Amino acid sequence: MDRVATVDTVRGLREAVASWRAAGKRVALVPTMGALHEGHLSLVDRARELADRVVVSIFVNPTQFAPNEDFSKYPRTLDEDCAKLAGRADLAYTPLLEEMYPAGFATTVSLAGPAAVGLEDAFRPTHFAGVATVVAKLLLQALPDVAVFGEKDYQQLKVVARMARDLDLTAEIVGAPTVREADGLALSSRNRYLSQEERALAPTLYRTLQDCAARLRAGEDAATVMAAGEAALATAGFAVDYLALRDAETLAPVSGLAAPARLLVAARLGVTRLIDNIAV
Ligand SMILES: Nc1ncnc2c1ncn2[C@@H]1O[C@H](COP(=O)(O)OP(=O)(O)OP(=O)(O)O)[C@@H](O)[C@H]1O
Ligand SMILES: CC(C)(CO)[C@@H](O)C(=O)[O-]
Ligand code: BAL
């Protein structure tokens, strides 16, 4: 079976990137936690359009999971991942825990501002500090020209873009559109946790976003639309964490469509927490 080349040390990664740079190549990084699906591969393809060499990092980052979350059962499929990346990426960076967090590790990126407040942060209060810290490390380890993130994790994309600007990290942060199943469900590694019945209900999340967006565009009052959307999700069997309208750029709360807006949702079906979002 063909497999992408791999390195698991910062030194190996830097050597590979340095040799490409010496040859005048542009380098892209696609950070992932593995269990790769077509959503991840679309980011790799986008990275390939933006650069000559593409590194995919695969690291299930413990610091972005709260103690009650699914770190230990998060899918780990490294062999299949490396096969999927063959011919598509140039290198997989697969650091072990000790490489990323050496003994005595004591530094965390701290976030503020509208992008990092509320939404996911209200339900996963330690999450973005863990994401920002590991992404800052990945960007400093690889020093790519560009890094590609999925719009599926829209708040993450905005938090990372803000952090990169604020810390003068040199990589350009690029967002790529959400890849969906035929029935509209956003691809996610966590979809595999859904039972058959839950999987049948799951596309309601995207349909509800579309319905709400259509009503907002037709000029209906945002609070009314949000309440109706939450009710529709609850009726379908979801436990809703949030359904919110935010400014598409800053993620500040908004009450209408004066500027480009984003509708974001997180809801649980049984033990599985799904997130999604669309432009309005
Ligand atoms: N359906 C998708 N379309 C486009 N990009 C995606 C999709 N799903 C995930 N990504 C992006 O892939 C990158 C890695 O995400 P991650 O490894 O967390 O995948 P995931 O399937 O979203 O997993 P999880 O269920 O844990 O959120 C992120 O930038 C994320 O936004
Ligand atoms: C960006 C990321 C790879 C950081 O661990 C993760 O949050 C993810 O997979 O979206
Ligand atoms: N895609 C974001 C990773 C997480 O949920 O931890």
Could you please report the per-residue DSSP string of the chain? -----EE-SHHHHHHHHHHHHHTT--EEEEEE-S---HHHHHHHHHHHHH-SEEEEEE---GGGS-TTSSTTTS---HHHHHHHHTTT-SEEE---HHHHS-TT--------SGGGSSTHHHHSTTHHHHHHHHHHHHHHHH--SEEEEEGGGHHHHHHHHHHHHHTT--SEEEEEPPPB-TTSPBP-GGGGG--HHHHHHTTHHHHHHHHHHHHHHTT--HHHHHHHHHHHHHHHT-EEEEEEEEETTT--B-SSSSS-EEEEEEEEETTEEEEEEEE-
**Segment 134-151 mean pLDDT:** 98
pLDDT at 199 over 90: yes
Domain with CATH 3.40.50.620 in the chain: 6-176
pLDDT confidence tier of residue 1, bands split at 50, 70 and 90:
confident
Quick one: which atom of ligand 3 is closest to the CA of 33? 3
Q: Tell which CATH classification among 1.10.150.110, 3.20.20.210, 1.20.120.1200, 3.40.50.620 matches the domain 6-176.
A: 3.40.50.620
Amino acid at 154: Y
**Segment 49-73 mean pLDDT:** 97
Q: How far apart are CA 220 and CA 216, in angstroms?
A: 5
225 CA → ligand 2 middle, Å: 31
pLDDT confidence tier of residue 235, bands split at 50, 70 and 90:
very high
Q: What is the pLDDT of residues 158-191, one digit of tens each?
A: 999 999 999 999 999 999 999 999 999 999 999 9
Domain with CATH 3.30.1300.10 in the chain: 189-279
- Whole-number mean pLDDT of the chain? 98
What is the number of the ligand closest to the CA of 95? Answer: 2
* ipTM for the whole complex: 0.98
Beta strand 172-176 pairing with 146-150: parallel
Long-range Cβ contact pairs of 222-230 (< 8 A, separation 24 or more): 222/254, 222/255, 222/256, 223/255, 229/265
| Beta carbons of 260 and 273 less than 8 angstroms apart | no
Percent of the chain clearing pLDDT 90 (strictly above): 100
CB-CB neighbours of 275 under 10 Å = 22
Q: How far apart are CA 153 and CA 160, in angstroms?
A: 11
Half-sphere exposure of 176 toward its Cβ, with a 13 Å CA cutoff? 23
CB-CB neighbours of 24 under 10 Å = 7
Superfamily name and number for 189-279: Pantoate-beta-alanine ligase, C-terminal domain (3.30.1300.10)
pLDDT confidence tier of residue 2, bands split at 50, 70 and 90:
very high
Give the per-residue pLDDT at 37: 98
- Is 40 an active-site residue? yes
Asked whether the whole model's pTM tops 0.80, one would answer yes
Binding residues: 33-40, 64, 150-153, 156, 179, 187-190
| Beta carbons of 153 and 275 less than 8 angstroms apart | yes
Give the per-residue pLDDT at 206: 98
Give the per-residue pLDDT at 280: 97
210 CA → ligand 3 middle, Å: 23
Q: How far apart are CA 170 and CA 167, in angstroms?
A: 9
State the catalytic residue, choosing from 7, 29, 40, 154: 40
235 CA → ligand 2 middle, Å: 31
Q: How far apart are CA 131 and CA 22, in angstroms?
A: 30
pLDDT confidence tier of residue 84, bands split at 50, 70 and 90:
very high
10 CA → ligand 1 middle, Å: 23
- Supply the residue whose CA is at minimum distance from atom 1 of ligand 3: 153
| 268: nearest Cα among 236, 235, 241, 230 | 241
pLDDT confidence tier of residue 65, bands split at 50, 70 and 90:
very high
Give the per-residue pLDDT at 66: 97
- Supply the residue whose CA is at minimum distance from atom 27 of ligand 1: 188
**Segment 86-113 mean pLDDT:** 98
Q: What is the pLDDT of residues 236-279, one digit of tens each?
A: 999 999 999 999 999 999 999 999 999 999 999 999 999 999 99
Ligand 2 pocket mutation, candidates 37, 60, 76, 135, criterion most atoms within 8 A of CB:
135
Cα-Cα-Cα-Cα dihedral sign, residues 203, 75, 36, 107: positive
